Chains A and B, each alone.
Chain A
Amino acid sequence: MQQPPGLVSSNPAQVCKLSNAIYGLKQAPRSWFQKLSFTLNNMGFLATKSNHSLFTKYTNDITIFILKYVDDIIIIGSSSAAIASVISSLNKFFALKDLGSLYYFLGIEARWTSNSGLHLSQSKYIKELLEHANMHKAKPATYSNDVFLSPYSRFNNSL
């Protein structure tokens, strides 16, 4: 690629003037994904064929899964030392913030229960939604059929 006519730059390596922020470009999601998956591949992670956002690494005694949603990442592993080392090596390539143990992802709260299970809920999301609609002090309603009545049956009922 060469400098287009009209571009005045003494440095021949500069070819185009970037007038958009990288973030706003159409190609941004793709190039972010390529950069992340390239880095993870170098660290020994393989993307699963059925889900390209899921990267896995197996060694003799340790299994690590990395699930990404754009720039939110969950790391699951059979050893917390191995997880910490993955985080620190990722930190060499990207400025990242370790939010600790999983508690909130994509609007879903995750809470560990005593039987080493996981409880998923959307309480925080619902609370914010209700406050936004000024309905947080409303009386609760149980499931009721007329919520889902079609216009047709409304029409029939009024006859």
Chain B
Amino acid sequence: MHQPQQHHWKTVKPLLRYLVGSITHGLQLTPSSSYSIKGFSDGDWGSNLDGRKYTIGYYVYLSNNIISWNSHKQKVVSRSNTEPNYRSIATVLFEIIWISSLLLNFIFLLLFQLFTQII
């Protein structure tokens, strides 16, 4: 930001004070032998009445650990509340597909490398 002014500071200040209160917060990861993937998503359109652009967010759990999350205001304008909700499901699904392909990758690489060692 080139020229921050008083009203910008006013908007940022509560965010910084929120950080003061949450400075010790964190994510706790615990070992687990389960590979169940769960995704949650939501879309928000109603709180952006002047821009009509929607925000979508999601998070993904692997077993009981959160491993991926995102919240992003979109660049496109929506004309229906169905769109943000539908898009949020699609976006979390993309993430889940990527995570499962990564997990599958580990299995294939394991098999491949063990196989080449036996030969």
Contacts and interface: CB of A to CB of B under 8 A. Distances in A.
B50 A150 contact: yes
B117 A59 contact: yes
Q: Is the interface of B mostly helix, strand, loop or mixed?
A: helix
A90 interface: no
Given A58-B114, A59-B117, A60-B117, A138 B16 contact: yes
Contact of A57 (B17, B31, B113): B113
Interface in A56-70: 56-60, 63
B28 A119 contact: yes
A115 B13 CA distance: 37
Given A129-B19, A141-B14, A141-B18, A48 B102 contact: yes
B24 interface: yes
Interface residues of B, number: 37
Contacts of A127: 23
Interface of B: 11-31, 47-51, 98, 101-102, 105-106, 109-110, 112-114, 117
A25 interface: no
Contacts of B15: 147
Contacts of B102: 48, 50-51, 54
